[in-house]
Amino acid sequence: MPRYIPVSQIYTGVCVSVVSVKVSFVGFPSVGKSTLIKLLSGKKPNLDYKPTMGLDFGSIKLGEHEIKLWDIGGQDQFRPLWDSFMQGSYLAVVVTDSTPQNVLQSKQIVEMIARKNRDTRIIAIANKQDMDGHMQAKRVEDVLHVPTYPMVAIEEENTERVHMILLRELLEATTGGSAEK
């Protein structure tokens, strides 16, 4: 069972003894997972592409508490490890570059997580919305059947937005609520 923070309680400052929560970012190579984690961590996004070699980590604080961000490398050689890297995730963020081909491929990832990690809430990021030929997030959502958010991860002004997505989804995962996007 994933360990979780009652995020709603973090906001009110009621919760004093909490554990950390694992959020995994998964997707095919170069879709923007590491860039998103940089954005979440308040760091400048890299414009050059350095593939993640296996696994990388980030973390952000919510009050006194830590959200652990697992950056799972998308290259072929790491795919057999995806399943074990995902274990214990409270939230899985499937990242796509919003091209039709990648969105279709990403559907397999969503299905794999849903099959093997039943306790994990799954969302998607329709990244690279600045690129020609991208699919709109709503269309991506219609394919993936999980809540899907549009994003341009290389734009630093999206830092607050990506924080809000994470917070909102951790709340949803905790309460099973149904707040509007």
Ligand X SMILES: Nc1nc2c(ncn2[C@@H]2O[C@H](COP(=O)(O)OP(=O)(O)OP(=O)(O)O)[C@@H](O)[C@H]2O)c(=O)[nH]1
Reduce the secondary structure of 125-164 to three states and give it as a string.
EECCCCCCCCCCHHHHHHHHCCCEEECCCCCHHHHHHHHH
From 5, 21, 35, 96, residue interacting with ligand X (rule: CB under 6 A)? 35
Contact string 13-52 vs Mg ion (x = CB under 5 A):
--------------------xx-----------------x
Q: Determine the size of the site formed for ligand X (CB under 6 A).
A: 25
Q: Give yes or no for a contact between 16 and 63, defined as CB atoms under 8 angstroms apart.
A: no
Quote the least distance from Cβ 121 to Mg ion, whole Å: 22
Q: Give yes or no for a contact between 21 and 5, defined as CB atoms under 8 angstroms apart.
A: yes
| Contact call for residue 47 and ligand X (CB under 6 A) | yes
Residue 105 interacting entry, from Mg ion, ligand X, none, C-beta within 5 to 8 Å by type: none
Tokens of 163: 């924080």
Residue 98 interacting entry, from Mg ion, ligand X, none, C-beta within 5 to 8 Å by type: none
